[in-house]
Amino acid sequence: MRSQKFRRVLYEVVGIVLVLVSIAFFWTSVSFLSERDYIAAILEIFVGFALVRAGLELTKIALIRGDRP
């Protein structure tokens, strides 16, 4: 019971951190675009989208696991 709650909180925290890190990736991609380094910006954007997706999936898993008794 206690380990399930810890795991849920851990998933939520890691998911939120991944979403925040993806915002940092998007910020650096904007700086790459301002320097006209388009390939690096596109790669950064793909990494940012992947991190957003991973973060949302982890928070979704935490919510689904939290509903179980």
For 27, the domain range is 2-66
The model carries a pTM of 0.72
Confidence of residue 69 (pLDDT cuts 50, 70, 90): low
CA angle 28, 49, 26 (to 5 degrees): 15
What pLDDT shows up at residue 28? 85
Confidence of residue 67 (pLDDT cuts 50, 70, 90): low
Give the total number of structural domains in the chain. 1
SS3 category, 35:
coil
Distances in Å between the Cα of 60 and the Cα atoms of 20, 57, 64, 65 are 16, 5, 6, 9
pLDDT digits 0-9 by tens, 4-40: 788 888 888 888 888 888 888 888 888 888 888 899 8
